Structure 1
Amino acid sequence: MSAIAGVLNYYGEPVSIEAARNMMQGLQKYPADDVRTWYDGSVFLGCHAQWITPESIHERLPYYDEQSKLAITADAIIDNRGELFNRLQVAKSRREQMADSELILLAYLKWGKEAPQYLIGDYAFVIWDEKRQHLFGARDLLGNRTLYYRHDARQFVFCTVINPLFTLPGVNKGLNESWIAEFLAIPYILDSIDVRSTLYSSIDQIPPAHTFQVANGKLTLEQYGTFTVPDKKIKFRSNAEYEEAFRQVFLEAITSKSRTFRQVGASLSGGLDSGAVVSFAVNPLHKAGKTLHAYSYVPPSDFVDWTSKSMLADESSYIRATVEHVGNLTHSYMGFSEQNSFSEIDDLIDLMEAPYKFFENSFWLKGMLEQAQRDDVGVLLNGARGNYTISWGPAIDYYARLLRNLRWVRFYREIKLYGKIGNIGRSRLLPFIGKQAFPFLTRMPFSKREPNKPLLIHPDLAARTGVIEKLTNHDVGLTESTMDEFAAREYQFNHLAISNHQGTSTTKLSLRYSVCERDPTSDPRVIRFCLSVPVEQFVQNGRDRSLIRRSTAGYLPDKVRLNQRVRGVQGADWIHRMLPIWRLVTEEVKHLCRDSAVSQLLNVKQIQASLAKIGDSPKPELAYDPDVRLIMQSLIVYRFLQKIS
């Protein structure tokens, strides 16, 4: 992938060569295979290119097509090349060498602003249409690549990352109070529900699934696509037909996302999602003469698993079963014995250009990418969104629906089989299912949805921005969720903030290491297929996640494929790793509580209360305790504020 940048000055004012050079110099911190710029009076386009696909080696960006009078700069990998070649009637002799940027231009020439609706892949691109005198661009449907911009009365400037925009006159680092309030009020991983703004008041971003057009000094944003659960489901005659259809669409997604002239890697846990990705990827790679590089995180050897019997912090035995069964891969267990969530804070802030919340696994996410870079991996596959696509199948919520709809025969048969597989008696299952089916019977009348977590945000900032009321109807962990897994799946793909959050970390991590993380489980073709499959294919004969379990027969070992009793839980060891240096954490947090600038944003009283509650040495089993998480988040925000002050 690449980093792109550009400037459009209004009223014919020429672009300052110095300003353009400064923007491109801001990208020099990232590795590049090629760096090019293009000027045309009031327009500047730049590309800091990282070559991933075979076609990208021949790609020269920015690219100007003399015949159409179109110029493009792009950060893009297009996955449905074959389909587009046919639709656009591209001669077969041109297809193999045609770069993705040229394919995007052809799509724009045919479909205009509707072109992104036909593109599948990870992309952000900008086109200068000389004839129409406007800029046009888009960000992919899942927001896997970022695009930030500054728009004022004089010009429109854009870049893949934020910091190069600060090299331009008039672009300052003033904080966006509304964004900061959301970041501080949301207790879990999501940064903000606002997909247009950023933490800086002078910089905005193109949301996922949106196009933009800049003409005559006016910026227009339009959403071009969504994911909806269709009323009419796919109907096949047998389970075997559903399984074969799934394997076909999933293999297509994996094959297209594995396209690189370098090596292919994958993150591998002991679960179904990453296991399915790895098991489907190895055969096409073997045919291409390649071996898959698989990386697995494991806790340190002295960690004592404190999680419940149904959870598993060390998934080594399941990972090993997958590795031995699948074959054709080089596998590494990665323990990162000298690293922890504290040691990576400053580097992650620089990398993310912002405070962040994924501290539990930050050190090993970076570590795997570092190793992948050393192994010359161009694409690192993962199964990050598989829980909502390929391995979706919420048994309890489905049984609650059966009960609510009075489908007694199927309900009785299913819970009997489910209990047998999971060794759970019906006397334990029925009350739980009943609560899911009829939640209003256990909910207090007229009860308000108040925050039930300790809040990091200062009460005055919360009141001034109205952030608590704004977040109340969003499933962000602020209050107890009222969503079942059916509603949660729709929310996952139609609430753009989730895609925006994931795309931000994916883009910035990939640029640092020149390793492109790609998720076949969130390929639009896979998502739409899974949303179109009847729920009875996902929960069947007492099996949750039934479709993926049946479809991976022969691909995955039964130990993994049919495991319905334990689930992996990554990050459970993060406190254990930090115990030797927890005194440093405590001292720094106490120091931030005395900082008058910080106390205007952060709830210092709550920080002090949480610190007192935790004590001098937190227990490892507090890894997901909201007070411990609040302490770490306060520390990360403090470090960020120090850097920009």
Structure 2
Amino acid sequence: MSAIYGIFHSDKKSVSPEHIDQLAGAYNSIPVDNVQIWRSNNAFLGCHQQWITPESVGEQNPLYDSKQELTVTADAIIDNREDLASLLGIGSKALKTMTDTEIILLAYKKWGDSCPSYLVGDFSFFIFDQKEQSLFGARDFSGTRSVYYNFQDGAFSFSTTIKPLLNLPYIRAKINEKWLSEYLAIFGMIETIEANSTIYEGIFQLPPSHSIIVSKGKLTVKQYTSNVFCSSKGLKSDSEYEEGLRDVFQKAVNSRVRTHRGIGSHLSGGLDSSSVLGFAARALSESGKDIHTYSYVPIKNYRDWTPRNRIGDESSFIAKTVNYISGVEANYLSFQESNSYNEIDNFLDIYEMPYKFFENSYWVRGIYEKAQTDGVGVLLKGARGNWTVSWGPALDYYALLVNRLRLKKLVNEVNLYSENIGIGRKQLYKIIMKKAWPKVHNALRPDQTSPPTLINEEFADRSKVFQRIDDSPINLNGTKTQSFYQARKDHFHYPIIWNTTGTIGTKLSLKYKLQDRDPTNDLRVVQYCNSLPEKQCVRDGVDRSLIRRITKGVIPDEVRLNQKVRGIQGSDGIARMASEWGNFNLELEQLVNDPISNEYLNVGLMKSIMTKNKEVPKPSYFFYGEFKILMRGIISYRFLKQLEGR
């Protein structure tokens, strides 16, 4: 993977050498294997290369085709190379050494601006057509690789990250109040309702599943076809469905362990990361490569306070997986001195914008740091698994049975599910009925209050943020639906939901010179899983049924069949911050008295929360909405101060 950047003057003005140096020079702090730049009079493309795949070693990127006068710069790993080779007429011998950048250029020659819809993998790229004087770019379907741009006075500038664009003298670091108002108003994890916006006015990001064309002084952004919803496969037996998922998942994993460097894998005690590790071990069984696993564990002397169906320390489940799968070098990482509060400056520097996912920030970055020292080039994960390979929400499925009047089946399923998870049937039926008839449930509870909001009331009125949110597909909680089935459709339909994961993954990968790769997010896997009938995913009182069936013999049964407890990562969050609680409160006092906070933040709400938390609160407070308000307030405050140069 790489950092890519460039400038194109559609008015045919010459690109200033100073602007090239300013844009490229901003990447000099990241570790690279090579730096290459291509330029003509009115365009230049650049790439700070990080060689992850064997084919990328020593590659030409940007790559120039003198015959057709096309130049491509790519931040990409393409996973369906064999399929593309067949479509593009590439022989097997040539494919072994052909770079992904070359494949992208061949795809563009054949399919033009439709080429992104043929690509499976993690990518962003730009292609300059010197004859047509046009620039074409694209970002992969889920936005795994970020790319930002600015277009003004005929000059189009783009970059993998934001800060290089701010190095250009004609781009100002001015707050985009529309973005900020949405970030502050929305309590859920979604940052904004517009997939192309950023915290900076005039700087945009190309949304996932979108391409961009700059030609004749005009800019066009459009969504290309990446159909993630497919009709049912109509297979005849359970074994056919199992074999289908096994094959496509193994193919996705095989594609993602393609590196000449070390292999690492995130590992919790759960089903998704364990399944990824198990399939990866099979893919590497003949290579002699070990897999480094990285697992977050709580600090020393941690006392588990979580409910009986939750577990704060997943070490026992992790150990079962590590001992079951051969060729694993396990790392249990507590990051003893780290916490969500003392990590804020690090993460603001990496993410380049205010962020919401503070709970796991310190160990996510810490794992990248440790993996870098181990020589890892690819870091596997199963982050999309809940929506793909391990899909199967039992209670929502049972709500469907209620509405379909499949009562005999419902009773049988609930009886088995109750026994499997250790929760009484009466309690389960209460939840199922709420899901089956949400309008009735909501009508019986008219006193439901809106979530807390971090935005200053006057700023909210001035920006009209609540009106915009009302007209959008989300609400203040981040979703307007109570159904997991509808939430899943929304998850794959709206690009705004994808941005955060890809953005932080890209920026961490550049800093630590390794690439996180998620086979549960493979487009082929997504399409297959979205075509499955519900009864394949929930059956016989077992949720996430299909993945549990195909991992028999791949991961230990204690993990594979576990339905009684689930991990809750970050449960030691308050304990980690205990020694810094005084500094935390001191900064909050500074925040509520600073004019810049009072302009944007709901300091009245923050003050009322602060009065209740002068002393270190109970451990569960880490997951309370009040604590989210305080932490996000400090994150926003520090960003605003940095922008002012303080």
TM range (shorter): over 0.9
Cα distance in 2 between the residues matched to 1:527 and 1:71: 32
- Name the residue aligned to 1:106: 106
Cα distance in 2 between the residues matched to 1:630 and 1:157: 36
Cα distance in 1 between the residues matched to 2:61 and 2:67: 17
Q: CA deviation at 1:182?
A: 0.9
Alpha carbons 1:614, 1:627 under 8 Å: kept: no
Cα deviations across residues 102-146 of structure 1 (Å, max 9, x unaligned)? Answer: 100100000001000100010000000112210011000010011
Alpha carbons 1:58, 1:99 under 8 Å: kept: no
**AA in 1 matched with 2:469:** L
- Name the residue aligned to 1:224: 224
- Name the residue aligned to 1:371: 370
- Name the residue aligned to 1:466: 464
Cα deviations across residues 216-268 of structure 1 (Å, max 9, x unaligned)? Answer: 110011100344544x3112222121111111000100110111110110000
Q: CA deviation at 1:451?
A: 6.0
- Name the residue aligned to 1:34: 34
- Name the residue aligned to 1:168: 168
Cα distance in 2 between the residues matched to 1:226 and 1:600: 42
Cα deviations across residues 32-87 of structure 1 (Å, max 9, x unaligned)? Answer: 10001111100111101100000100311111111121101110110000000110
Q: CA deviation at 1:453?
A: 2.1
| Secondary structure of the corresponding residue to residue 444 of structure 1 | helix
Cα deviations across residues 302-355 of structure 1 (Å, max 9, x unaligned)? Answer: 221121111111111110111111121100100111111122111111111111
| Secondary structure of the corresponding residue to residue 58 of structure 1 | coil
CA 1:424–1:446 in 2, change beyond 3 Å: closer, same or farther?
closer
| Secondary structure of the corresponding residue to residue 354 of structure 1 | coil
Aligned ranges 1:603-642 → 2 under 5 Å: 603-642=602-641
| Secondary structure of the corresponding residue to residue 57 of structure 2 | helix
Alpha carbons 1:7, 1:45 under 8 Å: kept: yes
CA 1:474–1:587 in 2, change beyond 3 Å: closer, same or farther?
farther
Cα distance in 2 between the residues matched to 1:273 and 1:421: 19
Cα distance in 2 between the residues matched to 1:628 and 1:615: 13
| Secondary structure of the corresponding residue to residue 286 of structure 1 | coil
- Name the residue aligned to 2:195: 195
Alpha carbons 2:176, 2:200 under 8 Å: kept: yes
Cα distance in 2 between the residues matched to 1:389 and 1:553: 18
Q: CA deviation at 1:10?
A: 2.8
Q: CA deviation at 1:483?
A: 2.4
Is 2:453 the counterpart of 1:455? yes
Q: CA deviation at 1:482?
A: 3.3
Cα distance in 1 between the residues matched to 2:429 and 2:155: 63
Cα distance in 1 between the residues matched to 2:565 and 2:445: 38
Q: CA deviation at 1:153?
A: 2.1
**AA in 1 matched with 2:495:** L
* TM-score when normalising by structure 1: 0.97
Cα deviations across residues 563-597 of structure 1 (Å, max 9, x unaligned)? Answer: 01111111111111001111101001100111112
Cα deviations across residues 179-201 of structure 1 (Å, max 9, x unaligned)? Answer: 00111112233222211111000
Alpha carbons 1:266, 1:382 under 8 Å: kept: yes
Q: Which moved more, 1:531-540 or 1:178-187?
A: 178-187
Alpha carbons 2:228, 2:526 under 8 Å: kept: no
| Secondary structure of the corresponding residue to residue 339 of structure 2 | coil
Alpha carbons 1:228, 1:490 under 8 Å: kept: no
- Name the residue aligned to 1:239: 238
| Secondary structure of the corresponding residue to residue 12 of structure 1 | coil
Cα distance in 2 between the residues matched to 1:558 and 1:475: 39
**AA in 2 matched with 1:464:** R
Q: CA deviation at 1:562?
A: 0.5
- Name the residue aligned to 1:310: 309
Cα distance in 2 between the residues matched to 1:408 and 1:206: 48
**AA in 1 matched with 2:460:** A
Aligned ranges 1:407-486 → 2 under 5 Å: 407-444=406-443, 452-472=450-470, 474-475=473-474, 478=477, 482-486=481-485
| Secondary structure of the corresponding residue to residue 11 of structure 1 | coil
- Name the residue aligned to 1:340: 339
Alpha carbons 2:9, 2:42 under 8 Å: kept: yes
Alpha carbons 1:185, 1:478 under 8 Å: kept: no
- Name the residue aligned to 1:514: 513
CA 1:581–1:250 in 2, change beyond 3 Å: closer, same or farther?
same
Cα distance in 2 between the residues matched to 1:603 and 1:154: 40
Aligned ranges 1:113-132 → 2 under 5 Å: 113-132=113-132
- Name the residue aligned to 2:265: 266
Cα distance in 1 between the residues matched to 2:561 and 2:477: 34
| Secondary structure of the corresponding residue to residue 413 of structure 2 | helix
Cα distance in 2 between the residues matched to 1:468 and 1:447: 21
CA 1:563–1:478 in 2, change beyond 3 Å: closer, same or farther?
same
Q: CA deviation at 1:447?
A: 5.5
CA RMSD, aligned part only?
A: 1.5
Alpha carbons 1:3, 1:49 under 8 Å: kept: yes
Cα distance in 1 between the residues matched to 2:249 and 2:273: 13
**AA in 2 matched with 1:40:** S
**AA in 2 matched with 1:2:** S
Cα distance in 2 between the residues matched to 1:626 and 1:390: 30
Cα distance in 2 between the residues matched to 1:283 and 1:426: 40
Cα deviations across residues 472-503 of structure 1 (Å, max 9, x unaligned)? Answer: 45446538853211011111111111211111
Cα distance in 2 between the residues matched to 1:142 and 1:479: 18
Q: CA deviation at 1:390?
A: 0.8
Q: CA deviation at 1:468?
A: 2.3
**AA in 2 matched with 1:417:** L
Q: CA deviation at 1:419?
A: 1.6
Cα deviations across residues 540-562 of structure 1 (Å, max 9, x unaligned)? Answer: 11100000111100011111001
Cα distance in 1 between the residues matched to 2:449 and 2:215: 44
- Name the residue aligned to 1:68: 68
Cα distance in 2 between the residues matched to 1:430 and 1:632: 37
Alpha carbons 1:262, 1:376 under 8 Å: kept: yes
Q: CA deviation at 1:444?
A: 2.1
- Name the residue aligned to 2:564: 565
- Aligned residues, how many? 643
CA 1:364–1:82 in 2, change beyond 3 Å: closer, same or farther?
same
Cα deviations across residues 259-281 of structure 1 (Å, max 9, x unaligned)? Answer: 11101100000000000000000
Alpha carbons 1:124, 1:145 under 8 Å: kept: yes
Q: Which moved more, 1:260-269 or 1:571-580?
A: 571-580
Alpha carbons 1:249, 1:526 under 8 Å: kept: yes
Cα distance in 1 between the residues matched to 2:146 and 2:375: 24
| Secondary structure of the corresponding residue to residue 4 of structure 1 | strand
Cα deviations across residues 429-485 of structure 1 (Å, max 9, x unaligned)? Answer: 22221221112222228959x862221110111122222233345446538853211
Alpha carbons 1:614, 1:628 under 8 Å: kept: no
- Name the residue aligned to 2:525: 526
Q: CA deviation at 1:91?
A: 2.5
**AA in 2 matched with 1:182:** E
| Secondary structure of the corresponding residue to residue 11 of structure 2 | helix
Cα distance in 1 between the residues matched to 2:436 and 2:557: 32
- Name the residue aligned to 2:14: 14
Cα deviations across residues 344-376 of structure 1 (Å, max 9, x unaligned)? Answer: 111111111111122111111111001100011
Cα distance in 2 between the residues matched to 1:589 and 1:615: 11
Cα distance in 1 between the residues matched to 2:276 and 2:10: 48
Cα distance in 2 between the residues matched to 1:190 and 1:152: 28
Q: CA deviation at 1:618?
A: 1.7
| Secondary structure of the corresponding residue to residue 420 of structure 2 | helix
| Secondary structure of the corresponding residue to residue 395 of structure 2 | helix
Q: Which runs of 5+ in 1 are unaligned?
A: none
Alpha carbons 2:278, 2:325 under 8 Å: kept: yes
Is 2:220 the counterpart of 1:248? no
Q: CA deviation at 1:424?
A: 3.0
| Secondary structure of the corresponding residue to residue 496 of structure 2 | helix
